Structure 1
Amino acid sequence: MKKVNVLISGSGSLYGVAIIQSLLRSELPLKLVACDVSARTLGLYLAHQAYIVPPAHQEELYLTSLFNIIAKENIHAIFVASSHELAFYSHNKLDIEKKTGAKVFTNFPETLNLCNDKWLTVNFLKENNFYFPLTIRYPEDQDQLNEFIKDVQFPIVIKPRGGAGSQGLYIVNQYEDLHPLLENKKDIILQQYLPDDCGEFTTGICTGANGRILSGITLKRYLQEGMTMSADSGDFTEITDYCKRVAQVLKPYGPSNFQLRLLSGKPYIFEINPRFSSSTGMRSLLGVNEAEILIRAEILGEAINQNKILKCSVIRQYIDYLVPTDKIVMLQLPPD
């Protein structure tokens, strides 16, 4: 089997470290190459080779640096682990693949925009007859506000159309608290509150070319400030199969995660993230190594048989790593 050279971009993120650690556990012959904008990010020192790159918003400089790394390391696959770089790779995906032959595991702008905009996400679910939380825009639909409140009742969720995690999210329990939160606001949505008495779930679906489903796993997650800090793997086959059906219509490429809660026993998706997620490492520990699956299916052309998923709980705890200072200094030096 040939050695596969993998570039992990934005390697210092939580996702980046999880991808690298997952691939280090793989039995595949891999060379892991990490890049990041800062020398003080852990992923650079876990991989086999490391590079400092410009910020992705400096597009021409970044692209030049990227092409140099791909050529020097003979890169076969690129995993994007920084949310700040997703748009860059999405817009340049075809160009990078055509010029280098490296496979870029990210989505085209249409899919990325649909998932990044929660209003577009809701409409996608609605138009394709999936369950969705009732939602209106603000200020565009403010004339519907009273009718919306009558339909869904309090509590009501207010959140930005874009963004991730809990930033800018409010749960409003009474009418008096609503208007101060709406004053002078734009690009937000008001959404039906989905009860959490059954908990909250995250489903990871891995897809190959043409929306081919490669793997799926659902975890019941326990949150702290919008981040999954613990998760249970259980008998959630119905939820996983439902999200697979959604993915077959959406046809994302690579890793995606679906955030949902149950309403009357039915899975209501309220967020789709078409990228690696904070639970990537948890899934790998439980038997679903998404990065390895993508390499096997899309680079090596292997048939994928889903591994048995461990029925277990995972608890996230941050730990400290020692890194020789001279390694950091060396990475900070300008290239020859």
Structure 2
Amino acid sequence: MKRDPITVILSAIGGGGHGEQILKAIRLAEPGSYRIIGGDMSQLCPQFALVDVPVLLPRASSPEYVEAILALAKKYDARAAFHGCEPDLQTMSRERQAFADAGVLLPINPVSVIETCMDKLKTADFLHQHGFKTPRFQVLGKDSDLSVIDFFPVVVKPARDSGGSQNTFIAQTPRELEILAEYVRTTNNTFIVQEYVGDYRNEFTVGVLHDLNGNFVNSIAVHRSLNSGLNMRSAVRNITGRSELGEWLVISSGVSHGYVDRFPEVTGPCERIAAALGARGAINIQCRLVDGEVYVFEINPRFSGTTSLRAMVGYNEPDLLLRHHLRGETLQPRFEYGSGWVIRSLTETLMGPPQAKEWKQWIG
């Protein structure tokens, strides 16, 4: 029997972030399953062509943001809303009761998980306290003593809000760290200095999925291929003399691709981390495999920038959660899915000049 499509709202679908990834994954679900209300704050959003109803949305920091989402939900009878960027996630999390009162499902983690994982200091403390492997680190602030850092090379990055490795740097010597510290002291942000571990050729992004009641569903990993300016934030030749780190020291970007598979040697430890956190929904763990041990350097408490890659091999996290929580379908733990290389490239979209009346129609 044919079922009516579920109407869902997606925010921040432009910009190449995880909002676009959720959109692509939902489009890979069984045809006719969903009607998508796709929003972005920019008119120049090629992804509007992939949704059923395109809408312009205010920034997540705007007082009108939640009101705009809920107005769309009421107008189009939407049953779920997905965040497409971290500011949207934080706003939706703060206002989750308003969405619950409106009968709109938010497939997001508990507040405690989001607060821990969005703060890299809290993340590192959590991993250390629970016995998981993580690189050594020190806080870097205005008055920090750099002489205590003796584990070069290091990665310097903001303690919060550095998705896609924004404002993230490598220092191989004390002098390089001093130069970066001068920059850090002008930003009024708290940075951390984290030990650079492993060879970039052994980097993974790992997804662990629980339903929104906390029941484990499955896990998956992408063995990242870091080979171009698209997927590398920075790359410097290794001058430390530590050959085990490889010829190049690399920081990946938020654009991941590579070989998708189960990789139990990395997904196993990541499943235990997600369980210890109390994850509910999707969680994404960035790590490297070093001498058979998984070293975690970041946890994203949300859908991944590889969500559509996973959906291409039959591991469709947004679809699974919607089918389970809105259609009542049973999820089979450790269900089978495929494997293979998924490689990304840039595409171009020619957008004609929009008419003012068209954009007005798109707002709400």
Q: TM-score, normalised by structure 1?
A: 0.89
Contact 2:163–2:254, Cα closer than 8 Å, also in 1: no
Distance 1:203 1:147, change over 3 A: same
- Aligned pair 1:269/2:296, yes or no? yes
Aligned counterpart, 1:169: 168
Aligned counterpart, 1:138: 140
- Out of 43, 60, 79, which is 1:39 matched to? 43
Distance 1:93 1:328, change over 3 A: farther
- Out of 312, 329, 333, which is 2:340 matched to? 312
Aligned counterpart, 1:227: 254
- Shift, 1:322, TM fit: 5.2
3-state SS of paired residue (1:38): coil
Contact 1:257–1:273, Cα closer than 8 Å, also in 2: yes
Q: Distance in 2 between matches of 1:168 and 1:227?
A: 13
- Aligned pair 1:67/2:70, yes or no? yes
| CA deviations over 1:292-320 (Å, ceiling 9, x no partner) | 11112222221223443323111111223
- Aligned pair 1:105/2:107, yes or no? yes
Distance 1:328 1:296, change over 3 A: farther
- Shift, 1:195, TM fit: 1.3
Aligned counterpart, 2:59: 55
| CA deviations over 1:246-291 (Å, ceiling 9, x no partner) | 1111123322210001222110111011122221111111221111
3-state SS of paired residue (1:105): coil
- Out of 254, 272, 278, which is 1:251 matched to? 278
Distance 1:74 1:111, change over 3 A: same
Equivalences for residues 1-336 of structure 1 within 5 A: 1-14=3-16, 15-27=18-30, 29-59=33-63, 61-98=64-101, 100-139=102-141, 142-143=144-145, 145-149=146-150, 153-162=151-160, 163-183=162-182, 185=185, 186-196=189-199, 198-221=201-224, 222=226, 223-225=231-233, 226-234=253-261, 236-305=263-332, 306-321=334-349, 330-333=358-361
Contact 1:158–1:189, Cα closer than 8 Å, also in 2: yes
Q: Distance in 2 between matches of 1:332 and 1:308?
A: 45
Q: Distance in 1 between matches of 2:265 and 2:6?
A: 35
Contact 2:55–2:363, Cα closer than 8 Å, also in 1: no
Q: Distance in 2 between matches of 1:16 and 1:240?
A: 24
3-state SS of paired residue (2:175): helix
Distance 1:335 1:277, change over 3 A: closer
- Shift, 1:123, TM fit: 0.4
> Bigger shift: 245-254 or 72-81?
245-254
Q: Distance in 1 between matches of 2:303 and 2:7?
A: 19
- Shift, 1:234, TM fit: 4.1
Q: Distance in 2 between matches of 1:13 and 1:256?
A: 21
| CA deviations over 1:220-246 (Å, ceiling 9, x no partner) | 112322133431124511211211111
Aligned residue type for 2:232: Q
Contact 1:13–1:81, Cα closer than 8 Å, also in 2: no
| CA deviations over 1:59-107 (Å, ceiling 9, x no partner) | 2x22222221111111111111122312111100122112x11101223
3-state SS of paired residue (1:103): coil
Q: Distance in 2 between matches of 1:332 and 1:224?
A: 39
Percent identity between matched residues is: 27
| CA deviations over 1:19-53 (Å, ceiling 9, x no partner) | 22221221162111112212221232211112222
Aligned residue type for 1:69: L
Distance 1:171 1:299, change over 3 A: same
The gaps in structure 1 that reach 5 residues or longer are none
Aligned residue type for 2:26: L
Aligned residue type for 2:170: I
Q: Could you say which structure has the greater relative contact order, defined with CA pairs below 8 angstroms and 6 or more residues apart?
A: 2
Q: Distance in 1 between matches of 2:354 and 2:149?
A: 60
Q: TM-score, normalised by structure 2?
A: 0.83
- Shift, 1:141, TM fit: 8.7
> Bigger shift: 312-321 or 207-216?
207-216
Q: Distance in 2 between matches of 1:224 and 1:188?
A: 21
How many residues end up aligned between the 2 structures? 330
Q: Distance in 1 between matches of 2:41 and 2:353?
A: 17
> Bigger shift: 258-267 or 323-332?
323-332
Aligned residue type for 1:212: N
Q: Distance in 2 between matches of 1:244 and 1:136?
A: 26
Distance 1:107 1:114, change over 3 A: same
Q: Distance in 2 between matches of 1:176 and 1:44?
A: 47
Q: Distance in 2 between matches of 1:326 and 1:212?
A: 46
| CA deviations over 1:128-172 (Å, ceiling 9, x no partner) | 1211111111238945x54441xxx32122211111223222222
